[in-house]
């Protein structure tokens, strides 16, 4: 069963890892609904 398809996805990206908007682009192609997306910054 697909993990992302049809699910409400919360994205916690990382400024020095993979940022939120980049993960969003990926999740959309898997049929996910983006419920919330943000990017954390440790520095």
Partner 1 sequence: MDLENQKRVLNISEEFGAENVVVLLGASEAEAAGLAAETVTNGDPTWAGPLAGVQLGLTVYHICEDEIKSEVDAGVYDEQVGMMEMVMDVPAIHEEMENIRSQYCKYL
Partner 2 sequence: MNGYPVVKGAAYTLAATPSMVIYNGTTQTTERVVNPSSEYLVELPKHLRSYEDVISYIPNQVYIGNAHYDDLANTEFPYYDKKWEGAKEDGKFGCIMPEDEFYGVMHICDVFELVMLENSFAEQVKEKLAKREMFTEEQLESILKNNADQAELERLVKDEHSEGLYIDQTHLVGVVKRAHDVDVNLSAHVMLENLVSKASNVISLIELKKKNNFDPASVEYVIDCCEEACGDMNQRGGGNFAKAAAEIAGYPNATGSDVRGFCAGPAHAMLHAAALVKAGTFKNVVVTAGGCTAKLGMNGKDHVKKGLPILEDCIAGFSVLVSADDGVHPQIRTDIVGRHTISTGSAPQKVIGSLVGDPLKAAGLKITEIDKYAPELQNPDITKPAGAGDVPEANYKMIAALAVMSKDLDRSEIANFVQKHGMPGWAPTQGHIPSGVPYLGPLMDDCMSGKVQKAMIIGKGSLFLGRMTNLFDGVSFVVQANDGTVGGKSAAKKEVKVCKTANYYGTKIAFASEGSEHGQDNIDLAVELAAKKGIEAIVSEGETAHKEMEAALNDGTAQAAVTMHYPFPIGVSTVGKVITPARGKAMYIANTTGTSDTDRVSALVKNAIAGIIAAKADGVEHPTVGIANIDGARACEKALKKLKDNGFDITFAESARADGGVEMRGNDLLLGTADVMVMDSLTGNLMMKMFSSYTTGGQYEAMGYGYGPGIGEGYDKLIMIVSRASGAPVIAGAMEYAANLVANDWKKIADETYAAAHAAGLDDILKASAPAKAAEAEEEEEDVPMPAKEVVTAAIPGIEVMDIDNAVKALWKAGIYAEGGMGCTGPIVQISEANKDKAVEILTKAGYIG
Query: Which of 5, 10, 12, 16 touches partner 2 by CB under 8 A?
Result: 16
Tokens of 26: 């990926």
In sequence order, the 6+-apart residues with CB closer than 8 A to the CB of 36 are 10, 11
Structure tokens of 17?
A: 């890892």
- Rounded least distance, CB 18 to partner 2, Å: 7
Q: What are the φ and ψ backbone dihedral angles of 23, each rounded to 5 degrees?
A: -70, -40
Residue 2 interacts with partner 2 (CB under 8 A): yes or no: no
Residues in contact with partner 1 by CB under 8 A are 2-5, 7-14, 16-20, 22-23, 25-27, 29-30, 32, 35-36, 38-40, 42
């Amino acid at each position: 069963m697909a993990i992302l398809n049809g699910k409400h996805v919360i994205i916690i990206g990382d400024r020095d890892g993979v940022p939120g908007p980049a993960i969003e682009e990926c999740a959309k192609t898997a049929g996910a609904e983006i419920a919330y997306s943000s990017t954390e910054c440790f520095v």
